[in-house]
Amino acid sequence: MQIIKPNIDINFMGQRKLALVVSAIILAIGVASLFARGINFGLDFTGGTLIEVSYPTAPELGEVRQALADAGFDDFTVQTFGTARDIVVRMPADQDDETGADLSTQVLNALATQEPAIDLRRVEFVGPQVGQELAEQGGLAMLYALIGILLYVSFRFQWRFAVGAVAALVHDVLLVVGILSLFQVNFDLTVVAAILAVIGYSLNDTIVLYDRLRENFRIKRKGTPTELCNLSINQMLGRTLMTSLTTLLVLIALFYFGGEIIHAFAFTLIIGVVVGTYSSIYIAGNAAIILGVTKQDLMPVEKEGEDQPDVEVLPERFRSST
């Protein structure tokens, strides 16, 4: 089976202005959402207490709230989690309270007076200090990943490609975070892991494209960088879509069957794979072209006694009409 025909020729580069506009609009919406709604930071970063409890039958949330209020709690939220039988109680971190860890016990006791047959599923308590550290570490991790990648791509290709790749990554991360903000997805440590995985994935796509672009630059005698870029994208289209498809399939399996805890993680990756696929087609190549990649940049340094690369003529259909 072959969905992408071998001679496919979509003028991706011709639509690159449109792509830039689309990216700009989505980015603008995302950034606006970041400012307006902010990120729904999870417990890992804000600090606080979370208690997940399973009831034998779906409880009335109002009654659960009442039970907690009766026990003297005032600052809490109660939500169902996954099923109607599971509820999650969240409490913010109290900066002065040194015995935050005891809170979960008290909450559990309060809930048990109302319904003794409850089953404790999960308790998470993160002190404010730890939350701040985790946030710093997450930010640093992203920064170091980007720097590491910048260095590797500069070393293997050329700095214009490295900048292009990183531009595509920043684009992806911003878009993903913007969308997470828009949907108010609970942003916890697993989401940070997912974003780093998106960085890895999107980069994978970009590198594959650059690799082909480099090859085409070396072996094709004619054609402008834009034309060659378009040719490379078309050549890799089958692969790009196939890999995205298989990755999306497993992620959808994870999203639907992996359970509630892994939901935000799977969601982030699904968005990330879609955005990463789009960006490696429209953004990465674009960025390299805008930065002015030329054939000379990629010609291998000639060594004595080494074979010259095969030189092919660019097929008619990829030649520029003007």
Partner 1 sequence: MNRFPPWKYALLVIALGVGLIYAMPNLFGDDPAVQVSSLRGFELERDMPARIENVLTNAAIEYGPIEFEPQRLLVRLDNVDRQARAADALRDALGEDYVVALNLAPATPAWLRVLRAEPMVLGLDLQGGVHFLMQVDMDTARTQQLERFVTSMRNLLRDEQIRYRSVRLDRNQVVAELRSPEDRERALRVIGREIDELILETRDGSETFNIRASIDEDVLRELQQTALRQNITTLRNRVNELGVSEPVIQQQGADRIVVQLPGVQDTARAKQVLGSTATVEYRGVDEQNDPFEAHRTGRIPPQSLLYFMRDGTPILLSRTVIASGDNLINAQAGFDSQTGAPNVVVSLDGPGARRMLEHTSQNVGNRMAVVFIEHRPEVREENGVEVPTTRRVEEVISAAVTREPFGGRFQTTGLGSATEASQLSMLLRAGALAAPMQIIEERTVGPSLGQDNIDQGFRSVMIGFALVLVVMAVYYKVFGLVANIALTVNLVLIVALLSLLGATLTLPGIAGIVLTVGMAVDANVLIYERIREELNNGNSPQAAIRAGYEKAFSTIADANVTTLIAAVVLFLFGTGPIKGFAVTLSLGIVTSMFTAIVGTRGVVHLIYGRKKRLKALAI
Q: Which of residues 151-170 bind partner 1 (CB under 8 A)?
A: 152-153, 156
Out of 8, 242, 299, 311, name the contact with partner 1 by CB under 8 A. Answer: 242
- Does residue number 9 form part of the binding site for partner 1 (CB under 8 A)? no
- Does residue number 218 form part of the binding site for partner 1 (CB under 8 A)? no
Judged by CB under 8 A, the stretch of 33-41, 63-71, 223-231, 243-251 that binds partner 1 is 243-251
Judge contact between 280 and 240, C-beta under 8 A: yes
Q: Which is nearer to partner 1, 92 or 200 (CB)?
A: 200
- Does residue number 144 form part of the binding site for partner 1 (CB under 8 A)? yes
We find the least distance from the C-beta atom of residue 322 to partner 1, in angstroms, to be 28
Residues 61-120 that bind partner 1 (CB under 8 A): 98, 100-102, 104-105, 108, 119-120
We find the least distance from the C-beta atom of residue 320 to partner 1, in angstroms, to be 22
What's the rounded Cα separation, in Å, for the pair 296 and 291? 14
- Taking every pair of C-alpha atoms in the chain, what is the biggest distance, in angstroms? 87
Backbone angles phi, psi at 270, to 5 degrees: -60, -50
Q: Which is nearer to partner 1, 17 or 156 (CB)?
A: 156
Q: Which is nearer to partner 1, 54 or 182 (CB)?
A: 54
Backbone angles phi, psi at 257, to 5 degrees: -115, -10
We find the least distance from the C-beta atom of residue 161 to partner 1, in angstroms, to be 11
Which burial class, exposed, middle or buried, applies to 228 when counting CB atoms under 10 A from its CB (0-12, 13-18, 19+)? buried
Residues 256-285 that bind partner 1 (CB under 8 A): 256-259, 261-262, 265-266, 269
Q: Tell me, residue by residue from 180 to 199, as one string, x for binding to partner 1 by CB under 8 A and - for no binding.
A: ---------xx-xx--xx-x
Instruction: Identify the DSSP state of 220.
Output: B
